[in-house]
Amino acid sequence: MILAAGSPAVRAEPARQEHLPRILVLATGGTIAGTASARSAIAYNAGGVLGEQLVASVPGLDQLAVIKAEQVSNIGSQDMNSQVWTQLAKRIKQAFDRNEADGVVITHGTDTMEETAFFLDNVLDVSKPVVLVGAMRPSSAVSADGPGNLYEAVEVAASEKSRNRGVLVVMNDTIHTARVVTKTNTTSVQTFLDPNDGPAGLVDPASIHYFMPAAPRHKLALALPSAGLPRVEIVYAHADMDADQIEAAVHDHAKGIVLAGVGDGNASQAALGALEDAARHGIVVVRSSRVGGGLVNRNVEVSDDKAGFVVSYDLNPQKARLLTQLLIGNGITTPANVQQAFDDAY
Ligand code: SIN
């Protein structure tokens, strides 16, 4: 049964509806809401189809849940931003506090889906399922993957098995956790992988299987920063690197710099020297890696204790940036305390 935002429930089949979970779909845009000519998979607008239309277009959803769709934004996720994140976090908290929903599904572009998932995972302290879903092909493409993904996302969000698992991503029959999931391919429908941990589970239209039992997680209690998220820059390391990117970030009043380092989070002597200077001036410097898998540990190739750096362990640069923003926004700014928070979150 599909309800538009704010519409009264029409109880077409009261006996069957009563036991169905209530799922709130928050639509933000992305390719899942994009349209193109049926022969084109590339020239399309991300965003364009409304959440209600998306939900109404998936056969069988009404057998899974009573669904209410709300439009939060209608943007390609390259334009996702902290205002929309804050709106999503507040609406989800409100919906659960008021017992309006048993689970939430967020439709989202795939490009920055992992960042939205990770942000929400850090600021929401909820046991009910929150699931992000998207598509690699627009809704009007041949073999559009959005409808199947949305069906399975609702299935996952409606399941008791999905409680106490943090924020999840469902794409292409696979369930991922916000911390480990990352986009790895520009076009493949199997773009989301979990480099350091593997997927959380598998889903198909008939079943959900998690590989590990749900467990209450040790979580940092990070508040939504009332003054917004502070400026934290990602600096991408490469061969023949000078200090220019780092000096530009300092000049632009960055409160933090995340190094997308080569290998084990390393960079040239010139770059490391400029980062050490930045740390000395109170800028939070976090070493992550551009490699895409493995851990960045303390004091292995770089003397973090001496330089005043923090390491990100398994967090990729975009997630390390978000955690750094949230920590600074919560008043956690010394290298020791920021490192402790990265340790605690790990
Ligand atoms: C976007 O991230 O909004 C565009 C790409 C996609 O959704 O796959």
- Residue 46 Cβ inside 6 Å of ligand 1? The answer reads yes
- pLDDT confidence of residue 48: 75
Mean pLDDT of 239-251: 98
The correct answer on CATH 3.40.50.970 for the domain covering 2-210 is: no
Domain boundaries, the chain: 2-210, 232-345
Dist CA 335 CA 330 (whole Å) = 14
- pLDDT confidence of residue 34: 82
Residue whose CA is at the smallest distance from ligand 1 atom 7: 109
Tens digits of residue pLDDT in 41-53: 454 566 678 999 9
Mean pLDDT of 339-345: 93
Q: Is 31 a catalytic residue?
A: yes
Residue 12 has pLDDT above 60, yes or no: no
- pLDDT confidence of residue 215: 83
Please enumerate in sequence order all residues whose Cβ is within 8 A of that of 253, keeping only pairs 6 or more positions apart, or say none: 231
Q: Which amino acid is at 245?
A: Q
Query: Which one is predicted more confidently, 140 or 30?
Result: 30
Residue 7 has pLDDT above 60, yes or no: no
Q: How far is the CA of 81 from the centre of ligand 1 (A)?
A: 14
- Residue 31 Cβ inside 6 Å of ligand 1? The answer reads yes
Q: Do domains 2-210 and 232-345 have the same CATH topology?
A: yes
Atom of ligand 1 nearest to the CA of 113: 2
Q: How far is the CA of 14 from the centre of ligand 1 (A)?
A: 38
Tens digits of residue pLDDT in 53-79: 999 999 999 999 999 999 999 999 999
Q: Which CA distances in Å does 261 have to 129, 241, 267?
A: 34, 11, 6
Identify the DSSP state of 84: H
Tell me the whole-structure pTM to 2 decimals.
Answer: 0.93
Question: Which listed CATH number (3.40.1520.20, 1.25.40.10, 3.60.21.10, 3.40.50.40) goes with 232-345?
Answer: 3.40.50.40
- Residue 146 Cβ inside 6 Å of ligand 1? The answer reads no
Is residue 291 exposed (0-12), middle (13-18) or buried (19+ Cβ within 10 Å)?
middle
Tens digits of residue pLDDT in 155-199: 999 999 999 999 999 999 999 999 999 999 999 999 999 999 999
